[in-house]
Amino acid sequence: MKRLEAKQLFTAYWKKITTDVAIMSGKYRYFDRRAPLNRRLSTRLLARIALWSLAVVVIVATVGFYIAYEQEKASQKSLLINQVRFQIEHETDKIRLAVDTAEKLRQAFLTRYQLFSDYSELAAHFDQWYVETEPGVFRLHQDFFEGILVDQTYYQHVNTFVGPGERPIPDELKARIVISQQVLNDLGPAWDGVWANSHFSMPENIISSYSSEFAWGLLAAADLVITDYNVVKSTLQEFNPQRQAIWTGLYYDLSADYWTITYQLPIDFDGRHLANASHDIPLNTLVSGLVRSEHPESQYFVFNEEGQLVASEESLSDNYQDAGILDIHKLTNPIYAEIYQQLAPVFAERAPVVLPNAIEGQLLIAQPLEVADWWHVTLYPYAEIQRAALLTPLQVSFSAIILLLVILFIVYVFVSRYVADPIQRLAKLSELIGAKQYEKVIQSRLLHEDIRSEIGQLIRAFRAMAQRLLENQNNLEGLVEERTKQLEQTNSKLAQANKKLDQIAHLDGLTNLWNRRAFDRDLQLALQQNEPITYALLLGDIDQFKAYNDQYGHLAGDDALRQVAKILTDHCTGTVYRYGGEEIAILIPVTDIHEAEKLARLLCENVASLSLEHIGSPSGVLTISFGVVLLDVTLSDHENLNRVDKLMYQAKRGGGNQACR
């Protein structure tokens, strides 16, 4: 439509111009003959104005572009440095909190430890609460993690691992273990969710931990000796004679199954190393804080002055999980060691460092953290700084375009005054000539001053105008066609993107099955379809799944859901949906109810064949129960769902692991 309107507008305007020229040419016979004599004045005027305009635009744009580009490039560097500094200052508060809370743990432990001179009462508690799970290995009873009331004190999320060591365990050590357990039970809930866990480690191969997610003391391997690893080993008096607090480098906790760093504060009394007050900070917390990317093209990471990696956005290989604390010189990515070598000479100064092109093509920003011997490193591509710096110069160029438009307006004013007005007066003279009033023409000063330049300019202007209009019309048609093709391509890409978004919106993130929204949509379509196809609706529920989650944990429950979802999709030609929680819905074309019931029983057998241990199930493994109906198109979707839901619960009441129709 816009293309058609543009063509009509140009056509009408062109017709008007050609008509006026034709009228003038026919009315005034001497117009064309005198045209060559009248070029000089307007041509020279327009040429001078154009040259001066071009000179001004070029000078202003060039100078302004250079100045603005250099200033903006410096501003971009300063902005990036300030952003990094602000991010570090903000996240340092979290790290300082770890130091402060560890000190509170230490003070609470020492205060309670000094209250006892007779350890028999606490030793008795140890004997009652701890279970020898393997020869020489003791663990705090699981009830203390799940929740138990003992002597008017409620314990929850506390766990302890007493690994191989001196046996029998002295009463004083038993007392320390119970004290660490009590202190964690008192203070740990305040920091639950802030740290991965809070814990006390002891040089006798003992760890007491508070965590609502991981019962580390119940998960640790029976033959684990924590002092064999650098995390706890670094706190021992022989390796840490100055008794300094220790920030470990990044390491993989095999028992808890995550990357983490640990802050450890040694607790000494009368020259004896009693324990370490500690917090674990997982890698994902560090990534979301210290090394989160404000700019996708930048790289952030943290290492300490001993050359140990603390945090990085880079995905770490599984091969590093058994390596202990990560030494940056042993990592496959050489950039860590290269940057460490660049910064090592300035470690003693503990001052921010900015090194242009220390790494080729990169701006390196390194800032020390106050609370630890850590260095926060940012790598930002110079090309991105230059690209960002171009924005302001482009604004300057835009201003130059505006200036050029102003100059063109001045040209318009001059042409109107010195070209258009004389042409109008010349037209009146032409009328006099046509009326044969020659004396008046001769006596007119306008004849001698203006006719030699303006008549020729008029003819040339009309011809040039016509030529420009035709060229513009052709250019406009090509431009409209090009823009139309681009719009069609854009619409095609948008349609593909919308289709992909629609798929994402209808998939369950955990199981990769179709979700409830997709099920509601497909159920409506199945009920409204006009083809003679019979659909069966199967609604299943995993038997005793809440008990499974309580027994094995939600991570195991999530894994079980994924395995059940996979085996159902592998053995069913219909569409499988996650209806909600542990409920699974299936829509499948069938010939009759017997075929649907046979399929449901086969799916029950397939789920049971996974042999997922479930001690709360009568069969000892995880099972599923199905209700089976044929869709009745005369009923609503809710009525069909109510029918199959009742049959599903009938199957569950019948003992589960079966299908009812």
DSSP code at position 361: T
Helix (H, G, I), strand (E, B) or coil at 358: coil
Q: How far is CA 259 from each of CA 325, 525, 583, rounded to the nearest angstrom?
A: 10, 47, 34
Q: Is 195 exposed, middle or buried (0-12, 13-18, 19+ CB in 10 A)?
A: buried
Contact (CB, 8 A) for 199 and 174: no
Contact (CB, 8 A) for 71 and 383: no
HSE-CB for 88 with a 13 A CA cutoff: 23
Tell me how far apart the alpha carbons of residues 646 and 629 are, in angstroms, rounded to a whole number. Answer: 10
Residue 125 has which token pair? Answer: 């508690």
Tell me how far apart the alpha carbons of residues 456 and 41 are, in angstroms, rounded to a whole number. Answer: 10
Residues paired with 247 in a beta bridge: 263
CB atoms within 10 A of CB 9: 12
Residue 252 dihedral angles phi and psi, to the nearest 5° = -105, 120
Q: Is 277 exposed, middle or buried (0-12, 13-18, 19+ CB in 10 A)?
A: buried
Nearest-10 Cα torsion for 595, 596, 598, 599: 120
Which of 91, 454, 582, 597 is an active site residue?
Answer: 582
Contact (CB, 8 A) for 645 and 539: yes
Tell me how far apart the alpha carbons of residues 544 and 202 are, in angstroms, rounded to a whole number. Answer: 41
Does the annotation count 481 as an active-site position?
no
Residue 412, H or E segment? helix 391-415
Residues paired with 246 in a beta bridge: 264
Query: In sequence order, which residues have a C-beta less than 8 Å from that of residue 583 and are 6 or more positions away?
Result: 539, 540, 541
Query: In sequence order, which residues have a C-beta less than 8 Å from that of residue 586 and are 6 or more positions away?
Result: 536, 537, 538, 539, 540, 568, 572, 574, 575, 576, 577, 603
Q: How far is CA 218 from each of CA 124, 131, 142, 164, 214, rounded to the nearest angstrom?
A: 21, 11, 8, 15, 9
Number of continuous H segments (helices) and E segments (strands) in the chain: 21, 21
Tell me how far apart the alpha carbons of residues 382 and 370 are, in angstroms, rounded to a whole number. Answer: 28
Tell me how far apart the alpha carbons of residues 49 and 51 are, in angstroms, rounded to a whole number. Answer: 6
DSSP code at position 371: T
**Which residue, 334, 400, 535, 520, is CA-closest to 65?**
400
Q: Which residues are catalytic?
A: 582
